A and B are shown apart, each in its own frame.
Chain A
Amino acid sequence: MTNSATMPQPVSLGRRLKRFMADRPLIPLIILLVILVLILQVLRPGIVNERWIANTAKFAIPLAILAGCQTMTMLTGGIDLSVGTVATMSAFIMATQIVNQDPTVAFILAMLPAVLIGLVNGVGVGVFRVHPLIMTLGTSLIGTGFLQVYQRTVIASGAKIPDFLNWLGTGLTYGFPNALFLFVPVAVLIVFTLNRTGFGRLLYAVGDNERAARLSGVRYWQVITALYVISSLLAGITGLLYIGLIKAPSLSLAEPLVLPSVAAAVIGGTSIFGGRGGYMGTIVGALILTVLTTLLTILHMPEGGRRILFGFIVLFVTAAYLRIIEDR
């Protein structure tokens, strides 16, 4: 147990800098983001313009919301691997139901599997104490299976992307992507929930020391069930946004976002063991990953090489970042 309360002796500049970074973990992340953008600008002068920024934001937003699901679940020491399937299901059901149904009905039908999967995840983790990794992986596979069955029933009716989602996914207002209309309120809500509500407190407390939370009267299963339902709902909404962006409903629409969403939360400084982290860092983490992807794309590397490099960079960045912010 360190007792840093009683050590006012002079410290070196490096140590002071470290302490500064540890107190404001967002700063090194933002520095890294800026460096990546600068590298991009050097490699391709002129690429960083208004259009590029709007485009980057458009692709970063779905990733950032899904990473929000990971942030919240990781704060409790969990993880939600079903977000990809949930997002895909919502998107696919929306796109197929909108053909014959009223938009409201289609929306409700689209969100139904999200709530259901979230509930099952929450009960499995919170009541039956299944490990979140296994639980959400399981429901994710089951969900994908159901989606395949469902696909056969709607093959004849076809699919279309509702205009509103089109507008939300790809439209611009005064040069700003419309997705921000969804993302800003969602982000504010998540940050507010984590920092200023009782529920947010409990997420941190449960993840830090479940026993202490229990002794303070916290009922673990309630917190966890609510958490996974919220996580799934967010994933479902992300699915709707994502289909507006990608415009091609498929059975693996949002699946490629799952692991990057975990990576974004980890890069953003959220501890996978729980109790530590926040959403602001995650947002920057999602931006870093998106810019990194662009950077690797313009290098004209073969796909394999790109992935190898991507993996190494994620590993390196995370390790370095944790070194910087853990002031021990």
Chain B
Amino acid sequence: MTTNELPNNTLLDATGVAKNYGAVSALRDASLSVLPGEVHALMGANGAGKSTLVKILTGAIPADAGRILIRGEARDVRSPAAARRAGLLPVYQEPALIPDLDVLCNLRLTGTPVEPFRAWVRELGIPNLDIRETARDIPLAVLRVLDLARALAVEPDVLLLDEMTAALPANLAEKVLEVVRRQGDSGRSVIFISHRFVEISALCDRATVLRDGATVGVVDIEPGVEEKIVEMMLGARIEKTSVAAARTASEAPVVKDSHPRLSVRNLQLGTKLHDVSFDLANGEVAGVVALEGQGQDELFAALAGSIRPAGGTIAVDGAPVKFFHPSDAIQAGLAYVPGDRTEALAMQRSVRENIALPFSAALRKWGPIKVRREHMVVSSAIARLQIDTRAQGEVQRLSGGNQQKVTIARWIAADARTILCFDPTRGIDVGTKQEIYKLLRELAGLGKSVLFYTSELEEVQRVCDRVIVIFGGRVVDTFPVELADEPALMRAAYGLPRGARADVGILADVRPTSDAETAP
């Protein structure tokens, strides 16, 4: 699969790059070689090690092993400044201008020549930029273009673009792609990280695919290569896991109510969510599958009452609701379990206090605590999740898996009817993962509903009844778990169309309105 190039011809050549964080290896054996004048795509599923490799190449973090050659010379890029001197310049997903300085000061800070910068800004489709404007007041899309222009202005040998077109409106994105394509003609190279096959096939010459921290292949971009890339990203995991065996624990029949537990229609939020619609039934675990940053964070935050959507409706049990504060969502029975445990736990407090926290939240619950009742409820939740309570005095002394259990136990104790789980198994041990899968199935068996975002595709078949795929802030597909093997999910997550769309009827927007039906 690997195309062999002469090493002395390459502009950038990294081989055997490895990086460990404690016992976890983020990169095992990554390699990347970029020829002069080429646009090279770097691809990989969530957690494959793309961002670690990028950070190493640009000097943001040191590698544990590996060799990086630039123009055939071994270079030690120990800092972003060193990478810059070596001719390697990144444009990250997050805007890099200092918000409180104006554009000109930001340019001086990095020693960027002003005139070329201006020329590039015009070239990129922003004709009238006020260079004295404070970065904070500039819209996000323009900031990203300015970051790109700033990088282009110093004429780097290798330009590294991370999801460059993510937050851009179509006209700016087009300009950006055009400029990137022309970079190649002048003998410069671009490393292009993107989740969008459309862009990659239009722009790139070759692609390097990472999986589990290692480079698994380098391919030439040609028509039909998408399937091959998806295959590489999945690797050996392509064989189908048996669906039935994984989910026998509680197959209670899903009660078909007149109203779904939760129904979301045309939800809209800034540049992140466009027109998201789906239903969640009682007794159902619906999986949400999306690549990083496709709007799933915002979707969960909106359902949890943390941010207010700009448009669209959310209905609970058929009644429209508006959430102004997480407590409104909790009132409606929607409980949010964030992916980051430090977001959900009072780390210095006890397991018991953390689990009982929602009990005291409402103003009328501020009085004396009924200790015995609380003890009962909390103990049963602890027993249910088998939390290791040997260090229960302070949650921060628990292991990550046990901490995650505490965040879920809280809502079991509070008897929430719907649980919004955002990647609950990230960074915890296998045993605990299994317990969490089992628990979510049990909850569904009890008629509760779960919305389950996961970054690990294999979990979908273990836990979910149905999958909602989000790409670029839109629901691009919804399908039952029987069809949701990993290749299908991966394809869908990258926005590739599904071959046989037999179940279009599942898509939410065809349901009749509630008043057309009579209540039982």
Chain A residues within CB distance 8 Å of chain B: 1-6, 192, 196-199, 201-202, 204-205, 208-209, 211-219, 222, 226, 275-276
| CB-based nearest A residue for B362 | A217
Give complex CA distance A112, B313 in Å: 46
| CB-based nearest A residue for B363 | A222
Question: Could you tell me if A212 and B357 are in contact, using CB atoms closer than 8 angstroms?
Answer: yes
A-B residue pairs in contact (CB < 8 Å), sample of 22: A2-B396, A4-B397, A5-B397, A5-B399, A192-B368, A196-B371, A197-B368, A198-B365, A198-B366, A198-B368, A201-B369, A202-B360, A204-B349, A205-B353, A208-B346, A213-B361, A214-B326, A215-B306, A216-B330, A216-B357, A218-B357, A275-B346
Give complex CA distance A35, B345 in Å: 39
Give complex CA distance A212, B357 in Å: 9
| CB-based nearest B residue for A210 | B346
Question: Could you tell me if A276 and B348 are in contact, using CB atoms closer than 8 angstroms?
Answer: yes
What A residues does B145 contact at CB under 8 A? none
Question: Could you tell me if A212 and B343 are in contact, using CB atoms closer than 8 angstroms?
Answer: yes
What A residues does B349 contact at CB under 8 A? 204-205, 208, 275
Shortest CB distance B347–A (Å) = 6
Question: Could you tell me if B347 and A218 are in contact, using CB atoms closer than 8 angstroms?
Answer: no
Give complex CA distance A196, B371 in Å: 8
Partner of B361, one of A5, A202, A211, A226: A202
Give complex CA distance A216, B358 in Å: 5
Partner of A216, one of B348, B366, B369, B410: B410
Contact with A along B308-337 (1 / 0, CB 8 A): 000000000000000001110011000010
What B residues does A4 contact at CB under 8 A? 391, 397
A5-B398, A205-B357, A275-B349 are contacts. A197–B388 as well, Cβ < 8 Å? no
A198-B367, A204-B346, A275-B346 are contacts. A215–B397 as well, Cβ < 8 Å? no
What A residues does B390 contact at CB under 8 A? 5-6
Contact with A along B395-422 (1 / 0, CB 8 A): 0111110000000001000000000000
Question: Could you tell me if B366 and A5 are in contact, using CB atoms closer than 8 angstroms?
Answer: no
Give complex CA distance A218, B362 in Å: 7
Shortest CB distance A278–B (Å) = 12
The verdict on B304 contacting chain A, using a C-beta distance below 8 Å, is yes
Give complex CA distance A208, B410 in Å: 17
Question: Could you tell me if A208 and B357 are in contact, using CB atoms closer than 8 angstroms?
Answer: no
| CB-based nearest A residue for B344 | A212
Shortest CB distance A24–B (Å) = 12
Question: Could you tell me if B397 and A205 are in contact, using CB atoms closer than 8 angstroms?
Answer: no
A5-B399, A218-B327 are contacts. A209–B345 as well, Cβ < 8 Å? yes
Question: Could you tell me if B338 and A215 are in contact, using CB atoms closer than 8 angstroms?
Answer: yes
Shortest CB distance B326–A (Å) = 5
What A residues does B367 contact at CB under 8 A? 197-199
What B residues does A205 contact at CB under 8 A? 346, 349, 353, 357, 360
Chain B interfacial residues counted at CB < 8 A: 41
Shortest CB distance A188–B (Å) = 13
What A residues does B361 contact at CB under 8 A? 198, 202, 213, 216-219
Q: Which 4 A-B pairs have the closest CB atoms?
A: A198-B360, A217-B327, A208-B346, A5-B391
Give complex CA distance A46, B151 in Å: 79
Question: Could you tell me if B348 and A208 are in contact, using CB atoms closer than 8 angstroms?
Answer: yes
The verdict on B242 contacting chain A, using a C-beta distance below 8 Å, is no
Best-buried of A1, A198, A218, A222 by chain B (most CB within 10 Å)? A198
Give complex CA distance A192, B366 in Å: 12
What A residues does B327 contact at CB under 8 A? 217-219
What A residues does B325 contact at CB under 8 A? 214, 217, 219
Shortest CB distance B190–A (Å) = 38
A5-B391, A205-B353, A209-B342 are contacts. A197–B348 as well, Cβ < 8 Å? no
What A residues does B397 contact at CB under 8 A? 1-5
Scan residues 339-382 of chain B and give those whose CB is less than 8 A from a CB of chain A: 342-349, 353, 356-363, 365-369, 371
| CB-based nearest A residue for B328 | A217
Question: Could you tell me if B399 and A201 are in contact, using CB atoms closer than 8 angstroms?
Answer: no
Give complex CA distance A102, B225 in Å: 92
Give complex CA distance A4, B345 in Å: 18
Question: Could you tell me if B388 and A201 are in contact, using CB atoms closer than 8 angstroms?
Answer: no
Question: Could you tell me if B400 and A213 are in contact, using CB atoms closer than 8 angstroms?
Answer: no
Partner of A198, one of B304, B330, B369, B396: B369
Contact with A along B66-81 (1 / 0, CB 8 A): 0000000000000000
| CB-based nearest B residue for A197 | B368
A196-B371, A201-B353 are contacts. A209–B346 as well, Cβ < 8 Å? yes
Give complex CA distance A6, B367 in Å: 37
A5-B388, A5-B398 are contacts. A217–B326 as well, Cβ < 8 Å? yes
Give complex CA distance A202, B368 in Å: 12
Shortest CB distance A21–B (Å) = 15
Question: Could you tell me if B356 and A201 are in contact, using CB atoms closer than 8 angstroms?
Answer: yes
Give complex CA distance A118, B338 in Å: 35
A4-B397, A198-B361, A199-B360 given. 17 additional CB < 8 A pairs? Answer: A2-B397, A4-B391, A5-B397, A5-B398, A5-B399, A197-B368, A198-B369, A199-B366, A201-B369, A202-B366, A209-B345, A212-B343, A216-B326, A216-B410, A217-B330, A217-B331, A275-B346
A201-B360, A202-B366 are contacts. A209–B353 as well, Cβ < 8 Å? no
What B residues does A197 contact at CB under 8 A? 366-369
Shortest CB distance A126–B (Å) = 13
Shortest CB distance B430–A (Å) = 17
Give complex CA distance A215, B365 in Å: 17
Best-buried of A199, A216, A218 by chain B (most CB within 10 Å)? A216
Question: Could you tell me if B369 and A196 are in contact, using CB atoms closer than 8 angstroms?
Answer: yes
Partner of B343, one of A215, A217, A276: A215
Give complex CA distance A196, B366 in Å: 10
Best-buried of A6, A209, A222 by chain B (most CB within 10 Å)? A209
What B residues does A5 contact at CB under 8 A? 388, 390-391, 397-399
Give complex CA distance A212, B365 in Å: 18
Question: Could you tell me if A213 and B391 are in contact, using CB atoms closer than 8 angstroms?
Answer: no
| CB-based nearest A residue for B402 | A5
Question: Could you tell me if B304 and A275 are in contact, using CB atoms closer than 8 angstroms?
Answer: no
Give complex CA distance A205, B353 in Å: 9
Shortest CB distance A49–B (Å) = 41
A1-B396, A201-B360, A216-B357 are contacts. A208–B368 as well, Cβ < 8 Å? no
Give complex CA distance A218, B369 in Å: 16
What A residues does B396 contact at CB under 8 A? 1-2
What B residues does A2 contact at CB under 8 A? 396-397
What A residues does B342 contact at CB under 8 A? 209
